[in-house]
Amino acid sequence: EQIVMFVQGTIVGFDARTGIELWSHGHRTKYEINASTPVWSKGTLLFMSSAYDTGGRMIRLSLKDGATQVEELWFERKFQVHHGSVVRIGDMLYGSHGDFGPAFLTSIDAGTVKIHSRQRGFGKTNLLAVGNQILLLDDDGTLAIANPDGDSLRIQASAQIFDSRTWTVPTLDGTRLYIRDQKEIVALDLTP
């Protein structure tokens, strides 16, 4: 078991029991800020992305002679996630691309590295996969639910929940969704 985390210019895996560093891989940004959430993929693939003139990177972890080996599979500058979360459904990675300017809901094929879509309509967005649907909470306080539709996201419903900055990934516990802005935490009952 490992704990994986972004640090200043690196992604690192630590032994969950001892805290000993098992592996690391460089992921430098212009300001040495890595603020998004890495995403495990099929097998031992790990995706990470940062803004500030960086991009997205897929690595493969493997064991050789009892030590974790890291192999970089690809790097793509056109998928820069500032401080949000990325989700993977099937072979598609969905995230909010952009830093200081506009942000676009973006989908990229995890295998071919092809950008499939860029959608307007939301600010920088945190995403949470719930089965085959995605909950979105953008930094303007809009909550939405979307379905992957081919290579893009089809918005099913949305509501303005907050009027101040929201940068935290939503948390779902059963049918209760917890979201927060910089002032308060709200619990929403999502029972059908």
pLDDT tens digit string along 106-143? 999 999 999 999 999 898 999 999 998 999 999 999 99
**CA–CA gap between residue 23 and residue 44 (Å, rounded):** 14
User: What's the predicted TM-score (pTM) here?
Assistant: 0.92
Residue 176 CB partners (closer than 8 Å, separation 6+): 187, 188, 189, 190
Query: CA angle at residue 85 from 79 to 89, to 5 degrees?
Result: 80
The pLDDT tens digits of the residues spanning 52-76 come to 989 999 999 999 999 999 999 999 9
Residues 32-47, mean pLDDT to the nearest whole number: 88
